[in-house]
């Protein structure tokens, strides 16, 4: 059986993202989102989740490009001087492999994020992370342990397609190959612990939007099993690009999720959208 699992990352990061998640659940194919515990629109996202029963909500563990749940002085190796995390994956990885990130602080912060999530009354359907930090060796084992402790039965394995979207040259190819290797390793370790992952992954990881045409192509070529499609929808691209300092076409992804052509393609193929609870 073929299943499509469209997941909206960064739920709770901004109200314009939360509005897009709600619209895409009510009028489109979205059935899953991952919640960032430390971000400004967390409480608003929780309200959205509680009033949309079709939406499965996972935890979007965050160690970069965001705000911690714990006081910065408790996790100094994870912090910049302004009290926020390192700005991106590259900066974090440099510090991590130089031995400047303390894993005990990683566990403390991620545990605090999960505890804040669970206090909302929501049950996490799965775990993933901002910029895929969860597949790094060492951090992966912490995340899997937290999943086991909280009975989280599913997990993202971001096997990035090597040539999806615009080709950015050899550097991008090497980066995607490395991520695919780490994702496969993470999937094996997760499944060894009884934590399930989708068989296929169709998100574009270089910041490009999943357009209507891209989503239609994914549906046309859908394989047996469950395919996760990673998206970052929003209702106001200009506002979000400015406030999040990320040039991404948020509105294009919202349009793709609610497109009548996409809905028709799924109906014709007998494909029902799902969330991570189907993997448990």
Residue 159 confidence (pLDDT): 79
Exposed (0-12), middle (13-18) or buried (19+): which is 118, by Cβ within 10 Å?
middle
Across residues 129-143, what is the average pLDDT? 96
Residue 207 confidence (pLDDT): 59
Q: What is the mean pLDDT of the chain?
A: 92
Residue 37 confidence (pLDDT): 98
Residue 57 confidence (pLDDT): 98
Torsion angles phi and psi, residue 79, rounded to 5: -105, 150
pLDDT in tens, 166-193: 655 555 556 667 788 999 999 999 999 9
Across residues 250-255, what is the average pLDDT? 97
What's 219's domain CATH number? 3.20.20.370
Q: How many domains does the chain have?
A: 1
Segments forming the whole domain that contains residue 90: 2-279
**Gap between the Cα atoms of 237 and 242, Å rounded:** 8
**Gap between the Cα atoms of 108 and 106, Å rounded:** 5
Sign, CA dihedral 259-261-267-272, equals: negative
DSSP state at residue 75: S
Q: Where are the beta strands (DSSP E) in 81-224?
A: 127-129, 200-201
Residue count (the chain): 280
**pLDDT at residue 138 greater than cutoff 80:** yes
Residue 165 confidence (pLDDT): 56
């Amino acid at each position: 059986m073929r299943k499509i699992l469209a997941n909206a990352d960064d739920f709770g990061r901004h109200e314009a993202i939360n509005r897009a998640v709600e619209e895409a659940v009510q009028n489109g194919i979205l059935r899953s989102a991952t919640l960032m515990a430390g971000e400004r629109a967390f409480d608003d996202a929780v309200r959205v989740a509680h009033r949309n029963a079709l939406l499965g909500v996972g935890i979007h563990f965050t160690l970069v490009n965001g705000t911690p749940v714990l006081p910065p002085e408790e996790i100094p190796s994870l912090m910049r001087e302004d009290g926020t995390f390192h700005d991106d994956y590259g900066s974090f990885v440099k510090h991590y492999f130089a031995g400047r990130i303390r894993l005990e602080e990683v566990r403390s912060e991620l545990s605090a994020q999960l505890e804040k999530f669970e206090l909302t009354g929501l049950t996490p359907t799965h775990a993933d992370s901002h910029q895929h930090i969860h597949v790094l060796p060492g951090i992966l084992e912490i995340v899997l342990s937290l999943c086991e402790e909280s009975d989280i039965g599913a997990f993202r394995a971001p096997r990035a397609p090597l040539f999806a979207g615009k080709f950015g040259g050899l550097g991008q190819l090497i980066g995607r190959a490395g991520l695919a290797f780490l994702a496969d390793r993470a999937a094996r370790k997760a499944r060894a612990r009884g934590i399930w992952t989708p068989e296929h992954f169709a998100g574009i990881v270089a910041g490009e939007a999943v357009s209507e045409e891209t989503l239609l192509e994914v549906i046309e070529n859908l394989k047996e099993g469950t395919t996760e499609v990673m998206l970052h929808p929003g209702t106001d691209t200009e506002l979000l690009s400015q406030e999040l300092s990320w040039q991404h076409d948020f509105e294009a992804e919202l349009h793709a999720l609610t497109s009548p052509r996409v809905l028709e393609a799924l109906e014709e193929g007998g494909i029902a959208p799902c969330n991570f609870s189907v993997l448990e």
